Amino acid sequence: MATDTGSLERRAYRTLNEDGLVDVGVGLGLLAAALYIGLPRLAGTNMAAWSALAPIMIMLLLRGLRKRFVYPRIGYARIRPASPAIILMVTLNLLLVAGLVVTAIYAGRGIRPPASLFPWLFRALALAGAATLALMGLRTGFVRFYVHAAVILVAALASAAVRSEDDGLLLLLGLPGLVMLAAGMVCFFRFLQRHPKPDAVHANA
């Protein structure tokens, strides 16, 4: 019985990640971070406020898309064990908090944090994200998660070789963000084609 339950949970988790919205959400988050770094240099625009709101806006967007398009097609299942997506969000938040704590310590001493601190913090975030995406690939069987993890690792290594730290961060965040967003959108539209709404199926019957 436990084996059947575990198999059912794995199939449900795979189905819930078939829609590509996890890819879309992570891709949008990475691109928002890239905009935070790149736009002040390119257009003199301060993105601090928008970047702070970006995670909330992305979560609301994904929640709305799932309620509007996903759950009516495949139903809703609550997975009891912590999913890799949740682990990813918790890990990234913990690393982000750690970076803010270190920054606050430097600010409390009246010292500006070393400029090299933030690129390595982002690389730590990237490695944690790549590991979690590989775990999602292992659990779901979707090859695209392994591809995302490989792209992040390549971007992290390439960013370390770029002389300009800002350009390196743009590469580290922007390249995986674009790949994941594009892959997620393709998966989402394929998901809609494979799983028509029940009303549409009955109407064609």
Q: Which tens digits make up the pLDDT trace of 10-57?
A: 777 787 788 999 899 989 988 887 887 776 655 555 555 666 677 788
The per-residue pLDDT for 65 is 92
Q: For a pLDDT cut of 70, what percent of the chain falls above it?
A: 64
pTM exceeds 0.85, yes or no:
no
Comparing 45-59, 70-84, 99-113, 120-134, the range with the smallest average pLDDT is 99-113
Confidence of residue 193 (pLDDT cuts 50, 70, 90): very high
Confidence of residue 125 (pLDDT cuts 50, 70, 90): confident
Mean pLDDT along residues 129-149? 89
Burial class (CB in 10 A: 0-12, 13-18, 19+), 14: middle
Confidence of residue 201 (pLDDT cuts 50, 70, 90): very low
The per-residue pLDDT for 149 is 94
The per-residue pLDDT for 99 is 59
Q: Is the pLDDT of residue 75 over 50?
A: yes
